[in-house]
Chain A
């Protein structure tokens, strides 16, 4: 069964460094999302992406964040200058149709900012 994949599974970085989290959505899906979950808290929406542009973003998704679909398969989340509070599990998801369709999640990347 097709699934969303994410790399790396765990990333450790120093505060102020740039990180890129990578995702390969399910191949026939058109809508892509990033969510994050700080330890012990709710899963929170960051951004949705369709047709090579951002559809929606939350207030968390400030100028430090950016997303890109650099080729036909990858979907990336970049954090330009990481802060301690960016430490979280980051999940990528995809869906065939829009956000009201079933979203399928990847296993997550655990980001630790020191």
Chain B
């Protein structure tokens, strides 16, 4: 079974910094990869879906990349804001979503 790993488990940055969240997986034979945001006690908000044939997707201050050969995806957040504080999850898309444990991000004012 695919293992999905997200490092670091937690990250704290001052407001305004650019940052990168990492997601790695063990098998390059994936379909797509989806990034989510989860606020405490809340549901999951889809941020970006990268098709397996794509190398990146952008939405506003977010940019997600996918490198299947190395088994990695990154989520780049530009000019971070306190409102970006949340847990960020990556999930491999197959017959179902296979999630990592997430990176808990805190952006301090």
The chain A residues found within 8 Å of chain B, CB to CB, are 4, 33, 35, 41-45, 48, 55-56, 58, 91, 93, 99-108, 110
Do B44 and A91 touch (CB < 8 A)?
Answer: yes
Do A42 and B100 touch (CB < 8 A)?
Answer: yes
The chain B residues found within 8 Å of chain A, CB to CB, are 31-32, 34, 36, 41-46, 49, 89, 91, 93-102
Do A42 and B96 touch (CB < 8 A)?
Answer: no
Q: For A6, give the chain B residue with the smallest CB separation.
A: B43
Do B101 and A48 touch (CB < 8 A)?
Answer: no
Do B43 and A33 touch (CB < 8 A)?
Answer: no
Bound together, the chains give a CA A112 to CA B99 distance in angstroms of 23
The contact sample of 29 A-B pairs, CB cut-off 8 A, is: A33-B97, A42-B101, A42-B102, A43-B97, A45-B96, A45-B97, A45-B98, A56-B96, A58-B96, A91-B43, A91-B44, A93-B44, A99-B94, A99-B95, A99-B96, A100-B31, A100-B94, A101-B49, A102-B46, A102-B49, A103-B34, A103-B46, A103-B97, A105-B36, A105-B45, A105-B46, A106-B43, A107-B43, A110-B41
Q: For B46, give the chain A residue with the smallest CB separation.
A: A102
Which residues of chain A have C-beta atoms less than 8 A from B100's C-beta? 42
Bound together, the chains give a CA A33 to CA B95 distance in angstroms of 11
Bound together, the chains give a CA A31 to CA B34 distance in angstroms of 17
Bound together, the chains give a CA A105 to CA B97 distance in angstroms of 12
A104 smallest CB distance to B (angstroms): 6
Interface centre among A41, A56, A99 (most CB of B within 10 A): A99
